[in-house]
Structure 1
C-alpha cells in the first residue's frame, strides 16, 4: 500500500483557480503581428511558416462550439520545476472538457520518448494521483536536443502511429526552441501535427511582457528563502559563521535577487551588475570583505552571502575565458579526454588559449581550473553548477581578512561555511500561485490546440491580479528568439531574460543592501503556506509585485 503524507492527501483536494475566460466557452482574439526580439531577417528565413504570427488572447464567449476528439502528446523537457504535473492535469481536463473522447499520451523520459516512441496513455486515474504535486515523475523528463532531421522524421512517424494531432512541450528556453523548430518542420511538411510550448524554468530567465514569469520560479524561491531564513536564524544564534550560499541560475540572477528581497541577507551578488561594472573576481571579494570588516567593528562576526550559480560567466575576464574554453573544448574534446592527469589537461588547454585568457586560466587555483574543464552540458556550455564558486569566494575572503588582520585593519573573526541550494527547490509541491498558474497554462494549451494553433507558447498574464482576472492566450515562440553561438556555431534560440539593473526589483534591493550588510536585518520567510488568508497564501514573488 502506498502511504501518503497528510499534506499530499490535503493537496489532492485543492482546486486550482483559473482565469474567467477559461471557465466556459472561449473566443480567441488575434492581436498585433509579431517579430523576433533580434536578428529578424535570419529568424524569419529559418521559420517562414511560423514567423510573424499574431499574439492571441482569450475572452469568455456565449457561443457553444463542438470540437472533434483529438489525440494529443505531451512531454516534460529539461530540469524539473514545481507545477509540471498541474500543466498536464490542466491539459487533460481542458481536452476532456472540449471533447470527452480526446486522449492524452505522455512520452516518457523527455524528448527521447518522442523519438523512441516510449509512451503511456494518461487516464483520469493516473492524472488524479499527481494533481498539485511536485516533480516530473508522472512521465519523467530528459534533455535530448531535437535538431536532426532524422529525429523530426521519427517523431512524425511515431505521432502518426498514435494518430496524434498535437504535441505539447513543457520546458525552458531550449525546450521551447525545440518546440519552435518542430512546429516549423511539421508546418513545412503540412504534416497535420500542431506544437505548443509551455514556459518552465525555476531560473526565471524565460520572461517577456507576454510571459510574465516561468512556472516553478515562485515555488523554488519560496523553498530557497525558507532555507536561507533557517540558516540566517542559525547564524544569528551561533554568531560565528559566514554562510556562503550558491543558488541556481546559470544565465541570470533572478533567484538570488528574489531570495534577497525575501530574506534580506548581508550580501547578495547579482551577476548582471558584476558584468555591467566590469568587475574582477578580486573586486567581488572586496565587496564581501568590506561587509565582513564593518560587521566585525560592531562585534558581528557572522553573516549570509548569496551567490548566483552563474557568477563566473558574468565576470568579464572569466566570461571571455569560458567562451574560448567552450569553443576550444568542442574542437579538441578527444585530445583533452585522452590526457591522463589534470595537470596535463590544464597545460594543453593553456597552450591553445589566447594570451589574455591563458593568463587568467593559469592564475586560477588548480582545483577551480579543473572544474572549468569538466564535461560540457548538452548545449556545449560549461556546467557552472559543478563549479564551487561559493567555496572559492569563502576561501578568498578568508585569505583577504587574514592579511588585513596582520596589517591591523581587522580585529574580528572569520569562519566560512558553504552551501548549494539546487535540487532542494526543483520538485517541491507547488505553491498556490504555481498550482493555479500551471493548471491555467495547461488549460490554455488545450484551447490553443482546439483552435488549430501551432508554434505558440501558452501565455497567462496579469498575474499580480486575482486569478479570475488573469489573461490567457498564446505567444508565437519565434517572437522570443534571436541567434546565439552554440557548439561553436550560430543557432536560433529563445533569448534569455536577465535581471534589469534599471528595474524596480533590483533598485529596491540596491536601496537596502548597505543597511542589510552592516546590520542584522534578517527576515525568516518560513515554509510555503498552502492554507490560510489569501494575503499569506496566494502572494506572487516580490519580483513580480515590484515589476507590476
Structure 2
C-alpha cells in the first residue's frame, strides 16, 4: 500500500466520513428497527382457527374436478387462544420445516411476510427451520434454497424489494415440474410451502396443495401484486380481502413523483406531462394516484368500457335501427375527450397539465378488441385460402392497408360480407401508423395478438396531437389572454383596450380573452381587423396586438413518463409494513393449525387496523376458466375497479374540479413522502378509506 493509499484508508475510517459513505443510511437503519403492530389475534402465545360460515362461492366445475380435496375448504378465522389443551400446545409448538418462495414481480412488503412468519414460527419453537427458495419457483424446481437466519431477517425488515431470496416468473405448470417440486420438498424435509405471489402464483399454490396432499406438505398462498387486482369477495359481494399487499406503497411512490410533475407543470407552464402507471388489466393504481394527486385528467379503463354514446343510440332509434357501435368508448372519441379538456384549460391560460393513463387502458377500448378479433380472422382466413402467408405477401404497411380498403369496398357490394366494413376502415385509419403496424404484426404461435408490446400512452396522445393541430387550424384551440394583461399591454402603448377589444375577442369582457375563431394567423388577423374597420387597408397590425396574438397561439408540448419498476422497488408504507408482517403471522397460524390450499389474508383492511381480522381463504373456489395462450385454464380471477363504488364515484364527481378549467389555481394535492416516522401518512389506501363508506353510499343512492 502506498502512502497515499494509507492516507485515504485512514480518511475513510473517520466516523463522520463512514457515516457519509456507508451503505446503510440513517433512514434505513431506523426503518429496519421499526416494529409493526400485531393484530389482536397475535397478542398471545397461541392462535387457533375457527370455520366462518355464511360466505358463499360459486364453484367452477373444472375446479371441482381438478382440485377435489381442497375445493370445499372453508373460510377460517384466526383467533387468540389463551387456554389451549396440552395436545394442542404440543402440536402447535412442534418443530417445523417451512419453505417460502417469492413468485412474479417484486412488491413492497415481501420481506415482512418472511419476518412475520419467522417471528411467529420461532416464538412457537426456536428450532423451527425456514428455507427461502432462490430466484422464485425455479428454486423450488431445482432445489436451490438458503436457510433463513435471524441476521438475514433483521437486515431486511420493513425494506422494499425481494432481495433477500430474489424472485422469478417460472410457473410450476407441468407434471415434470410438479414432480421436481415434490422431490425438493422431500429433500429439505418440508412440512409446508408458502407461495407469495399474484393471481397465477396463487393458482399454482392451489394445484401444489392438491398434488402435495398425499406427501403431507401444506401449501399456503399470500396475495401480492402492486396492481391491486387480487381482491376477494364472496358471491354476495362480502369483502374478505380488500387489497393485495404492495399496492399502497407503489401507488404512493407513483403519486409522490407525479405530484412533483404537477408542481413542475404549474411552474414552467409549458408541458403536458403524460404519466403511464402500471396496471395491465385493472386501473386500481391510476384511481389511487388520482385521489393522491388530483391530476388534471385521469383515465380509468373500467369507466371507458361502460361508456354509451347516447347520440348514436338516439340517431339509430329515429332510423328504426340499433347501433351496436354506440356501446363502448372508441379511440377517436377518447382522443376528443382529452382534447376538449386541454382546449378548455388553454382557454383560461393553462396550456399545461398532468394526465394519468393506466397501462392497460387500450384493453377497455371496444374497437381495439374488435380490431384484434377481426384482423386475426382476416389474417388467418387469408393464410388458409391462399395457402401462403399474409405478412409475406404484404410486406409494407401501405400494402396491408390497401388490402383492408379492398375488403371495405367489398362490404359495400356484398351484403353478407361483414368481417371488415367501411366504418372499421375509417376507425382504423384514425389510428397512428405505428399502432396500425402493431395491430397487423405477426401473431404468436397460438394466433394471439402480443398486446404487451403496445405503447399505450403514445397511441392515445398521437391521436390527441393530430386533432389539436386541426383545432388550431380551425381557431378553436387558443390560449386565453388575461384581461388585465391585455389592458395593461394596450394602455402601455397608448392604445384604447375598450376600442379594440370587441374587434379582437369573441368573449370580450371575460377574465380570459379568446381571439376570434377566424384569426388563426397574422394574415387572417390582419384581414379580419381590416374587414371590421379596426385598421386601414395595407396597415400593419399594431405591435401590441401582434404580441398578444402570438401569445394566444398554443404549442402543445408533452413529456412522457412511465411509473412501474420504481414503484415495485419502493420501501413499504406503514400500512404495507404492518399488513405484510401480519400476513406472515397468519401464514404460520394456518400452517400450525393444519391448513392447506388456503390464501392468507386480512379482513377489514378498509376499516382500519383496530378491526383487522386474519383469515385463511380457500383458493380453489375463487378460480374460473380463462383463455391463456389459446386454451382455457383455471386461474384466480382478477378484480377490476368497481365503477359503482364510492372511490370511483368520488373521482368521477371531482373530475371537473381537478381539471380546473377555470381562472383559479389548480387543485393539486401533495401526498406525504413514504416514511415510517411520518405522522402525516394515511393509515390505508385512499380507495379503501372511501370504499369503507360503501353501505352509507348505497343507502344515499337508493
Tell me which residue corresponds to 1:202. 226
Q: Is the 8 A contact 1:33 1:54 kept in 2?
A: no
Q: CA deviation at 1:40?
A: 2.5
What does the per-residue CA deviation read over 1:486-527, in whole Å, with 9 as the maximum and x for residues that have no partner?
A: 111111111111111111001000110012112521112142
Q: CA deviation at 1:375?
A: 9.0
| 1:112-123 matches, cutoff 5 A | 112-123=138-149
Tell me which residue corresponds to 2:674. 528
Structure 2: where are the runs of 5+ without partners? 1-20, 233-238, 308-327, 408-417, 480-553, 693-702
Residues 1:539 and 2:674 aligned together: no
Which among 421, 425, 433 is matched to residue 563 of structure 2? 421
Change (3 A) 1:531 1:281: same
1:210 aligns to what SS in structure 2? Answer: strand
Q: Which protein shows a greater Rg? A: 2
Q: CA deviation at 1:27?
A: 2.2
| 1:365-514 matches, cutoff 5 A | 365-371=432-438, 373=441, 382-384=450-452, 386-412=453-479, 413=554, 414-514=556-656
Q: CA deviation at 1:18?
A: 1.5
The 10-residue stretch of structure 1 (100-109 or 406-415) with the greater mean CA deviation from structure 2: 406-415
Q: Is the 8 A contact 2:282 2:360 kept in 1?
A: yes
Residues 1:314 and 2:364 aligned together: yes
Which among 294, 298, 301 is matched to residue 268 of structure 1? 298
Change (3 A) 1:10 1:540: same
The 10-residue stretch of structure 1 (440-449 or 466-475) with the greater mean CA deviation from structure 2: 466-475
Q: CA deviation at 1:322?
A: 4.3
Distance 2:590 2:47 in 1: 10
Change (3 A) 1:342 1:132: farther
Q: CA deviation at 1:370?
A: 4.6
Normalised by the length of structure 2, the TM-score is 0.72
| 1:55-204 matches, cutoff 5 A | 55-64=75-84, 65-66=89-90, 67-187=93-213, 190-204=214-228
Q: Is the 8 A contact 1:221 1:255 kept in 2?
A: yes
Normalised by the length of structure 1, the TM-score is 0.91
Tell me which residue corresponds to 1:221. 251
Which among 247, 271, 276 is matched to residue 277 of structure 2? 247
What does the per-residue CA deviation read over 1:457-478, in whole Å, with 9 as the maximum and x for residues that have no partner?
A: 0011222445343101210012
What does the per-residue CA deviation read over 1:287-330, in whole Å, with 9 as the maximum and x for residues that have no partner?
A: 11111111111111111111010011110121234467899999
Change (3 A) 1:228 1:62: same
Residues 1:299 and 2:349 aligned together: yes
What does the per-residue CA deviation read over 1:430-468, in whole Å, with 9 as the maximum and x for residues that have no partner?
A: 001100000100110011011111000001122244534
Q: Is the 8 A contact 1:36 1:478 kept in 2?
A: no
Structure 1: where are the runs of 5+ without partners? none
Q: Is the 8 A contact 2:60 2:621 kept in 1?
A: no
Distance 2:145 2:393 in 1: 42
Q: CA deviation at 1:381?
A: 7.4
What is the aligned length? Answer: 539
Which among 21, 27, 32 is matched to residue 48 of structure 2? 27
Q: CA deviation at 1:113?
A: 1.1
